Chains A and B, each alone.
Chain A
Amino acid sequence: MAVVTLTINDELTSAQEGVTVLEAAANADIHIPTLCHVDGVGDVGACRVCLVEVVGERKLQPACMTPVREGMVVQSETERLRGYRRTIVELLFSERNHVCSVCVANGHCELQDLAIDVGMDHVPYEYLYPDCDVDATHDRFTLDHNRCVLCSRCVRVCDEIEGAHTWDVMGRGTSSRVISDLNVPWGSADSCTSCGKCVMACPTGALFTRGAATAEMEKDRSTLAFLTRARGKNEWVR
């Protein structure tokens, strides 16, 4: 496979043709913050946290979905981008009821880590305090809409890896909600195989193991990583 060279944050680096800017940056040990990206499933470019400036492009591009090109010059750490990123994270915190101190994922939460990463010290916007449900009908897992950031990781993991497509999104704007099957309680969703991949993929405390108490929910990505690696190497081909 052909190799291209590109510059990320003034650092000359090489990458295989066809990989994304995000992958190329990761290979070069350059950290670009992400939220909706999860290894092993397709990207949607929805959270807008990984936006980068590409010289010659009028618009900012999501690093997770932009393929590398020969001679490309990418900036991911300009003052402007940092400002945008912080505002986006602030907006995410203002949207639902993210109360870290009583959250099952406190201390193991990617949203929390991201807030620290982008240097958010307070939320300058009004909290929307939406009225969100908690779906505790499943016998092993729980869905707490109060913590959901609509990254759609659960939707993609369930669809692309498990092949069940239990999850989808309903409604629009801030009324969007992740739903199981045709908006039935998770416990009665026939398509759910109870594999738990969605729970492990979820960046926040929105999906967690039933019974987990504050700060107890640690996400284990090893199964996902194993599946992704095995598929990538075609280890399951008969």
Chain B
Amino acid sequence: MNLPALHEMATGERRANGGTHIHTCVASGCLSSNSQAVHDSLTAAAVDADPNSDVRACAVGCLRLCSEGPLVSVTQPDGEATLYRNVAPEHAASIVGALNGGDAEVDTVDPDHPFFAGQEGIVLENSGKVEPERIESYVAAGGYESLYHVVHEMTPNEVVDEVTRSGLRGRGGAGFPTGVKWATVAKQEAAQKYVVCNADEGDPGAFMDRSVLESDPHRVLEGMAISAYAVGATQGYVYVRGEYPLAIKRLTRAIRQARRLGVLGTQVFESFFDFRIDIRVGAGAFVCGEETALIASIEGQRGTPRPRPPFPAESGIWGSPTLINNVETFANIVPIVREGTDWFASIGTEKSKGTKVFALAGKVRHTGLIEVPMGTTLQEIVIDMAGGTPDERQVKAVQTGGPSGGCIPASALDTPVDYESLAEIGSIMGSGGMIVMDDQDSMIDVARFFMEFCMEESCGKCAPCRIGTVQLHRLLAKLTSGNGTAADVAALEHLSDVVRHTSLCGLGQTAPNPVLSTLRHFPEEYEAAITK
């Protein structure tokens, strides 16, 4: 594969796509409400209406407003777009009929609604536009050109510098500067290095990575290939959880297509750069999202973490330097290379650059995926974009960061979403789950739910996490059942401190966060739970 051939493929695909498009979301959210049948009947209806028409029905990735699925987006040749919601297979004829003017008898969504207007698409720029199962569709959107550019026109150091200057930080939650991580791996002298994409997204309520993989798998592969070139790796793994069969299927297909095209495998783009990607499927352990446990799991061992240092950047898979980044981090690489670091650095806040994808869930009117520039306030996300609670109740708290994060009270909704601000208020950015709670929800219950999750997901290797989470859960259960005492709350605080500071890995070290943040922001609920 070379650049002219890539361009030829893109042009051919664009020409074939000149007419009207009917895009049906076939990511997990809409699929669960029967969008595959909707897509099939739209395809049939388009052919029935006019066998020679230039109308194309495409199965695309996430159209974001998951609560209103199945979603169908129709784009006319003049660019005019209509987004239909709650589409059923029997609506197909009506939608196709409306292509030549008139209105379909299907509910539509206002494209200028704040839910869409407030978004900025970097990671999700192709989501809902390209067909995840066809590499041609990704190439037509400019795919793999950045990889060509990197492999043929840049030195590995230049790529690392580019990422460093962009200010990109890890999207897995901790926010470690990506460029520093790349540079560390790049500087290691080793015969073999690895690149790993962490797709073991396990936080309850989070589905960003899943959506990216299901909607635009090639972008993640291209980001991985660019990173491999930059750090000098020849083998990559995507560690994806077994609970995401569709993501695994699409990734497998994408890897096969990319290898066949010669943009992965040996001699990428006829250069001396080799890069092979394999998939490793997780077996349902949350802790395998922790990088050292993930490495153990890839090696075929029991997925338990080990103390760091040494960090995987020095000693990872089979002792080789290993670069581990999250799905969303890799998905940011292509736009950075394509548009330049200045462009990327101009988005977001001073210390947190770019955008962040959040999976909005819980008591909000519009649930789904949103991608907003860093620094957007929770108020804008939860109230303006997501429309607040569905039954006009008061928003009580927003939970970010899943079991490692915390609850942010409604009084702090003006907090901007960036790594530092969220940490300051006792939560974390996390991987991007955002759960909204209203005044009917008990904060102790929320803490108990997350503690139960950590208790069940603790690997059992280190004592404080293994037993501490069980004891914390017991104390919380005692409080929610109305039998708690002041001594229990004191024990809760003490034990949270111990588990946080003595546990081996991030799971245990952050497991008390939901307790600590609710103790901090909602002390009155704990006081009310104490039996006098």
Contact = CB atoms under 8 A, between A and B. Distances in A.
Nearest to B501: A60
A175 B463 CA distance: 13
Interface in B426-471: 455-464, 466-471
Given A84-B502, A94-B471, A173 B460 contact: yes
B307 A174 contact: no
- Interface SS of chain B: helix, strand, loop or mixed? helix
B459 to A, nearest CB: 5
A174 B460 contact: yes
A47 interface: yes
A19 B378 CA distance: 49
Nearest to B460: A176
A152 B462 CA distance: 10
A48 B502 contact: yes
Contacts of A95: 463, 466-467, 470
A34 to B, nearest CB: 12
Contacts of A45: 306-307, 462, 504
Contacts of A169: 302, 460
Contacts of A88: 463-464, 498, 502
A123 to B, nearest CB: 10
Contacts of A125: 471, 474, 491
Contact of B463 (A48, A168, A171): A48
Interface string A59-100: 111100100000000000000000110011001101100000
A84 B497 CA distance: 9
Contacts of B474: 125-126
Nearest to A95: B467
A91 B471 contact: yes
Interface in B368-409: none
A103 interface: no
Contacts of B494: 87
Contacts of B495: 87
B460 A150 contact: yes
A124 interface: yes
B174 to A, nearest CB: 13
Contacts of B462: 45-48
Interface string B88-107: 00000000000000000000
Interface string A146-179: 0001101000000000000000110111111000
Contact of A48 (B287, B459, B470, B504): B504
Contact of A149 (B463, B491, B503): B463
A101 B491 CA distance: 28
A60 to B, nearest CB: 6
B208 to A, nearest CB: 26
B314 to A, nearest CB: 13
Contacts of B298: none
Interface of A is mostly: loop
Contacts of A47: 462-463
Given A51-B502, A84-B498, A46 B467 contact: no
Interface residues of B, number: 31
The interface centre, meaning the residue of A124, A125, A149, A152 with most chain B CB atoms within 10 A of its CB, is A125
Contact of B467 (A61, A65, A92, A171): A92
Given A88-B498, A94-B471, A168 B302 contact: yes
Contact of A150 (B306, B307, B455, B466): B466
B317 interface: no
A44 interface: yes
A172 B502 contact: no
Contacts of B502: 48, 51, 60, 84, 88
A92 B467 CA distance: 7
A175 B498 contact: no
Contacts of B467: 91-92, 94-95, 128, 174
Contacts of B306: 44-45
B285 interface: yes
Given A48-B464, A88-B463, A126 B498 contact: no
Given A45-B306, A94-B471, A126-B471, A175 B460 contact: yes
A126 B483 CA distance: 14
Given A48-B462, A91-B471, A125-B471, A173 B504 contact: no
Given A126-B471, A169-B302, A174-B470, A91 B464 contact: yes
B463 A173 contact: no
Interface in B261-307: 285, 287, 302, 306-307
B501 A173 contact: no
Interface string B503-531: 11000010000000000000000000000
Contacts of A48: 462-464, 502-504
Contacts of B498: 83-84, 87-88
Contact of B460 (A49, A61, A84, A172): A172
Of residues A46, A47, A128, which shows the largest number of chain B Cβ atoms within 10 Å of its Cβ?
A46
Contact of B470 (A62, A128, A168): A128
B463 A172 contact: no
A140 to B, nearest CB: 27
B469 to A, nearest CB: 8
Contact of B466 (A44, A60, A62, A174): A174
A173 B491 contact: no
Given A171-B460, A176-B460, A84 B302 contact: no
B455 A173 contact: yes
Nearest to A45: B307
Nearest to A170: B302
Given A88-B498, A173-B470, A46 B463 contact: yes
B111 to A, nearest CB: 46
Contact of A173 (B302, B307, B457, B471): B457
A49 B498 CA distance: 12
29 contacts: A45-B307, A46-B504, A48-B462, A48-B502, A48-B504, A59-B501, A60-B501, A60-B502, A83-B498, A84-B498, A87-B495, A87-B498, A91-B464, A94-B471, A95-B463, A125-B491, A128-B470, A150-B463, A150-B466, A172-B285, A172-B456, A172-B457, A172-B458, A173-B457, A173-B469, A174-B455, A174-B458, A174-B466, A174-B470
Given A51-B502, A87-B464, A88-B463, 11 more contacts: A45-B307, A47-B463, A60-B501, A87-B494, A87-B495, A91-B464, A124-B491, A125-B491, A172-B457, A174-B467, A174-B470
Query: What 4 A-B pairs are tightest by C-beta distance, nearest first?
Result: A176-B460, A91-B467, A45-B307, A173-B458
Interface of B: 285, 287, 302, 306-307, 455-464, 466-471, 474, 491, 494-495, 498, 501-504, 509
